[in-house]
């Protein structure tokens, strides 16, 4: 009996290790993409760069590191998607040379970054932009106009059926079914949830009373599922269900909401997301080259789509030796370059950085230097 129990546990261990290996391979679909252009500086770099951070960047990081390694013989990038918090912590305690994070460094974290990174502290560089769609499963309906308050009420369970007057008033042309609204949220802690609730809290503060967080508020009744694929699958199977997920995962399969910004309704797109990011304000109290962006979720700019996830690479403004500086600069320059952004858009369906933001990031990367 004991032997059997041991065997079972061992089997489970082997299986879960196998599953991990499989999932790790699953997102690595970069083998077909063309090798990157060599680093911006032109010279080949070598060495190993270690990063820890956001799992949202995982798929994009896989192609970035593969392409970077094939363009620079002898250079490797290791990235461990342990989570945004782990990434920021690793950069601050020096166990990684860069961190990936769905949020820029908090003020106290920025202040403590001077220990590892020198007097100018760390640099937050936006590298990965992903618009988040509000997606629903309604027969015959592919688009709906919704404002922030309605979205908040739908996800709080305060709107019971799809033909509710609040929805009907914004969609006079649609024939809305008398179908139960089933909101589906992410059951795991995720950057998508964090950005979505941040949007609701900022754009509809009167309806959304919870604080923005990566974990869905436990007090809300609703369905949930694990991961982007889980929520999309659940909504696809359930008429009347609605969720929020990366645009790339829902396009074509489900109906998508147009979000009210200013006086009109904005359709989700890479351009609209980039526009919202460009409208964000730099965070005060950072060094001149830092690109922390405080998104204005309640923006009224026409054509901007404010439900967007911006993920950063957090690097030091100074490193101890020239070799590391060259390596970081070359890698980050590739990541924000057209080639890098296109590769990420192909592999992870992210929205490429706007030209303006790209120039700013390149300037910021160029400022990285050796510790004096």
Partner 1 sequence: MTTTSLTTSRGAGRAGDKVFSAATLAAGCLILAVLFGVALFLLIQAFPALVASPDEIQGGKGFFSYIWPIVIGTLIAAVIALVIATPVAIGVALFISHFAPRKLASGLGYVIDLLAAIPSVVYGAWGAAFLAKEISPAYNWLANNMGWLPIFQGPASATGKTILTAGIVLSVMILPIITSLSREIFLQTPKLHEEAALALGATRWEMIRMAVLPFGRPGVISAVMLGLGRALGETMAVALVLSSGALTASLIQSGNQTIAAEIALNFPEASGLKVNTLIAAGLVLFVITLGVNMIARWIISRHKEFSGAN
Sign of CA dihedral 370, 98, 289, 68: positive
Sign of CA dihedral 27, 32, 37, 38: positive
Stretch in the footprint of partner 1 (CB under 8 A) among 8-16, 144-152, 298-306, 362-370: 8-16
Measured from the CB atom, the residue of 91 and 357 that comes closer to partner 1 is 91
288 binds partner 1 (CB under 8 A): no
Residue 184 tokens, joined? 């589906």
Of 12, 111, 169, 320, the one binding partner 1 (CB under 8 A) is: 12
Question: Which three-class secondary structure state does DSSP give residue 52?
Answer: strand
- Residues across the chain: 372
Of 118, 126, 191, 340, the one binding partner 1 (CB under 8 A) is: 191
Distance between CA atoms of 125 and 27, rounded to whole angstroms? 23
263 binds partner 1 (CB under 8 A): no
- The H or E element that residue 36 is part of is none
243 binds partner 1 (CB under 8 A): no
167: buried, middle or exposed (CB in 10 Å: 19+, 13-18, 0-12)?
Answer: buried
51 binds partner 1 (CB under 8 A): no
Of 35, 47, 85, 303, the one binding partner 1 (CB under 8 A) is: 85
Residue 44 tokens, joined? 């080949």
189 contact partners, CB below 8 Å, separation of at least 6: 83, 214, 215
Measured from the CB atom, the residue of 5 and 42 that comes closer to partner 1 is 5
Distance between CA atoms of 26 and 68, rounded to whole angstroms? 20
222 binds partner 1 (CB under 8 A): yes
Measured from the CB atom, the residue of 176 and 362 that comes closer to partner 1 is 176
Residue 188 tokens, joined? 């795991």
Distance between CA atoms of 1 and 21, rounded to whole angstroms? 30
CB of 86 to partner 1, least distance (A): 5
CB of 9 to partner 1, least distance (A): 9
Stretch in the footprint of partner 1 (CB under 8 A) among 66-74, 82-90, 262-270, 327-335: 82-90
94 binds partner 1 (CB under 8 A): no
238 binds partner 1 (CB under 8 A): yes
Stretch in the footprint of partner 1 (CB under 8 A) among 13-21, 119-127, 165-173, 315-323: 13-21
Which of 249, 203, 205 is closest to 228 using CA atoms? 249
CB of 357 to partner 1, least distance (A): 26
16 binds partner 1 (CB under 8 A): yes
Q: Are 193 and 183 in contact (CB under 8 A)?
A: no
Distance between CA atoms of 197 and 214, rounded to whole angstroms? 8
44 binds partner 1 (CB under 8 A): no
189 binds partner 1 (CB under 8 A): yes
What residue ranges bind partner 1 (CB under 8 A)? 1, 4-5, 8, 11-12, 15-16, 18-19, 55, 81-86, 88-89, 180, 182, 184, 187-191, 214-215, 218-226, 230, 233-234, 237-238, 240-241
């Amino acid at each position: 009996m004991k032997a059997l129990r041991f065997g079972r546990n061992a089997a489970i261990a082997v299986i879960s290790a196998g599953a991990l290996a499989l999932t790790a391979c699953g997102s690595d679909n970069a083998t077909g993409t063309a090798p990157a252009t060599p680093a911006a500086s032109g010279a080949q770099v070598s060495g190993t760069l270690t990063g820890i951070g956001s799992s949202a960047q995982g798929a994009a990081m896989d192609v970035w590191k593969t392409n970077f390694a094939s363009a620079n013989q002898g250079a490797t990038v290791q990235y461990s998607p342990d989570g945004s918090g782990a990434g920021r912590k690793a950069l601050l305690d020096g166990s990684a040379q860069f961190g990936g994070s769905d949020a820029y460094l908090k003020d106290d974290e920025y202040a403590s970054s001077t220990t590892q990174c020198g007097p100018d502290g760390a640099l937050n560089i936006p590298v990965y932009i992903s618009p988040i769609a509000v997606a629903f499963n309604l027969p015959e309906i592919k688009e709906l106009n919704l404002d922030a308050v309605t979205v908040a009420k739908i996800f709080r369970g305060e709107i019971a059926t799809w033909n509710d007057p609040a929805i009907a008033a914004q969609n006079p042309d649609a024939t809305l079914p008398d179908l139960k609204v089933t909101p589906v949220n992410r059951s795991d802690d995720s950057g998508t949830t964090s950005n979505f609730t941040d949007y609701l809290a900022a754009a509809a503060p009167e309806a959304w009373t919870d604080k923005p967080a990566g974990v869905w508020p436990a007090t809300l009744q609703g369905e949930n599922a694990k991961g982007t694929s889980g929520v999309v699958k659940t909504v696809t199977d359930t008429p009347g269900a609605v969720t929020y997920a990366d645009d790339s995962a829902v396009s074509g399969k489900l109906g998508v909401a147009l979000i009210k910004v200013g006086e009109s309704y904005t359709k989700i797109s890479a351009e609209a997301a980039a526009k919202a990011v460009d409208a964000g304000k730099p965070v005060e109290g950072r060094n001149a080259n830092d690109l922390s962006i405080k998104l204005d979720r309640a923006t009224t700019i026409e054509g901007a789509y404010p439900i967007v996830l911006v993920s950063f690479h957090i690097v030091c403004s100074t490193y101890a030796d020239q070799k590391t500086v060259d390596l970081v600069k070359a890698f980050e320059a590739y990541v924000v370059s057209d080639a890098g952004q296109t590769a990420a858009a192909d592999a992870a369906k992210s929205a490429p950085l706007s030209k303006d933001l790209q120039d700013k990031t390149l300037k910021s990367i160029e400022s990285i230097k050796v510790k004096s």
